[in-house]
Structure 1
Amino acid sequence: MAAAAFTLAGFGGRTIVLIALAAVLLDVAVQTTLITGQHTVYQLDPGARARLNSVFIATFFIGGAAGSQLGAIAFNVGGWSAVAAFGAVLPVLALLYWTTERRSGARATS
């Protein structure tokens, strides 16, 4: 959904309705990722939920700050199209990593 949002934003760079729709889709994607991540972290050690959540949220914030900085660099290099392309590629790469990580983990437990 995040990749679709950035793609939509790339095509709708000058249309406020498409940018607004892209922003809503991106927010839904980020909130879904946040909740899914917290759910996973809470399953690790119920006795350390507060500490694990603190590390998770700090890492989430650092990732967002790094993405903002890289987005600014992409804008300086190639304008709005580069930002949209960069934003669309990152979630696809994360999805590819996740699918390969899940498969290798399933093989190890079999």
Structure 2
Amino acid sequence: MLRKHAVLAGTIISILLILIATVVYPGGSVANKNSVGFQWTQNFISDLFADKAINGAGNTARVWADAGMVMLSASFAIFFVRFSKKIPNKGRPMLLNIWAPGICYSTA
């Protein structure tokens, strides 16, 4: 059953990891460097991946955000591999099996 829903489960887990990252983000935004925490209207998702938060503190959210992106990339890779097996042409699945997962992991 888990194997059948691996893409959905991986996507949900990645969203949860990103949400955890937003909760533990130390703070700071472009508008206010002294703000506390992550604010969806003031911060960018990319703020979660920096070495240091905008307020200068160590970014404890980075580990969670990285884990979320790796999980999302793995979910996309599983999706493309499974989807390529449904294409009847013999040349296209091989291309998708090699190319699509590589694209997913190059974004992480």
- TM-score, normalized by the shorter chain, greater than 0.5: no
Larger helix percent: 1
Relative contact order, CA 8 A, sep 6+: which one is greater? Answer: 1
* TM-score, with length taken from structure 2: 0.41
TM-score normalised according to structure 1 size: 0.40
